[in-house]
Structure 1
């Protein structure tokens, strides 16, 4: 129980830092990197994932997708078996490692977008420690400013659109970025849109769109807990895109 209280206090402190910086701002990301480099086996993605979870469970909260929702993500990746993946919201690279480790195609690629250079550097080092740098490219700036770069990268893999999109960034951008992906042809029939934190803190506009467009977004709803705080409930949605 005491560890849970410490984690919740760490969560509150993080949210204060997030308001001002867009990340924790209290050194926790640097501490996580140091812990991973010292404790995770190099070239072993599962060891890296375990190290991040261990550090987060120790009382320092992180906005990773976490263990419970991570298993839902693993299952969705395995079911779709994508070649090309887009991640909106890299943070420290936990979900990128989790997804890239399960990409089976020889030419598979994961493009991940992060706004903060300092955090992107930490993510790249964690991804590299997991041995996945060849599969993952971390780009800076929002989706709206990376369309040409993304299309160029896809062209190098003989791809035109993403099979799987993991959405875990600014909740106000869930719907605009989804609509941008659709407008630019970066998703196609059968593409999967996995949206984290649809219950807490939630993305009302994207949720409303899902509910009002059931033929376009065929959606499964999964109830879960917030990462590393079991008594705060959350929801993830897994939607299959259909061209109408």
Structure 2
């Protein structure tokens, strides 16, 4: 979903850092082999994720919603030696595809970081994770966004960053909600929760389909 005119969006992309070859290869293979390839973060948002990770230099990252691994690889770019990224997805069919690119990336940086894939329901996996995280990316099923938020708040360090994707939901957050729509009402409540929670400093960016950055105080 793009909210800017296409030519202006292209200008922005062309004047931002180019994506690495590994991500170009992953994008190509995703479009060739996977339905709903639109779920990829995309080159521009990927560069934003990479920049945030470089600025934060997180030792531990948690991602909810792996898909084919694009966003995880972007965040991995900014992680220091000895760090760990855990990514969770319920779809086991994409595990091998993402895993090949994770292995390729880790080998390219001499295995200085660890990327661990977990398959299953995130709300069941999160409580079993040891330790706390410096960066969390929420990009899974929208009806559970609020549940994910409460679960990960038990697992973040002070100063941690929480990134939430698709928070504009194709513009539906400012439209009349359909009675059959299970996602938009949750996102409306979720966006309100992030803004009003006294434990957070939050700003919503109109990047792609909406990306919220929250800092844990």
TM-score (norm 1): 0.66
CA root-mean-square deviation: 2.3
Question: 165, 183, 202: which one pairs with 2:136?
Answer: 165
Residue 129 of structure 2, aligned match among 150, 156, 165: 150
- Asked if 2 retains the 8 angstrom alpha-carbon contact of 1:87 and 1:165, the reply is yes
Contact 2:63–2:87, Cα closer than 8 Å, also in 1: yes
* Helix, strand or coil at the partner of 1:191: strand
Is residue 138 of structure 1 aligned with residue 117 of structure 2?
yes
**CA shift for structure 1 position 46:** 2.5
The residue that corresponds to 1:62 in the other structure is 38
Deviation at 1:237, TM superposition (A): 0.5
Aligned positions, number: 177
Aligned pairs (5 A) from 1:1-244: 46-54=20-28, 61-104=37-80, 106-131=81-106, 135-147=114-126, 149-151=128-130, 160-182=131-153, 185-201=154-170, 203-213=187-197, 215-225=198-208, 234-242=209-217
- 8 Å CA contact 2:51–2:78 kept in 1: the answer is no
Distance apart, 1:55 and its partner CA: 5.8
**1:33-63 deviation per Cα after TM superposition (whole angstroms, max 9, x unaligned):** xxxxxxxxxxxx92211223456789x8431
Gapped regions of structure 2 (runs ≥ 5) = 1-18, 171-183
Per-residue deviation at 1:173?
A: 1.5
State the shift of 1:119 in Å.
Answer: 1.3
The secondary structure found in structure 2 opposite 1:180 is helix
Q: What is the SS of the residue equivalent to 1:86? A: strand
How many angstroms apart in 2 are the aligned matches of 1:55 and 1:222? 29
Task: Give the whole-Å Cα distance in 1 for the aligned partners of 2:141 and 2:127.
Answer: 21
Cα distance, 1:110 vs. partner? 0.2
User: How far apart are 1:198 and its partner, in Å?
Assistant: 0.8
Q: Distance in 1 between matches of 2:91 and 2:37?
A: 19
Residue 205 of structure 1 deviates from its aligned partner by 2.3
Contact 2:55 2:78 in 1 (8 A): no
- Matches of 1:57 and 1:111, distance apart in 2: 24
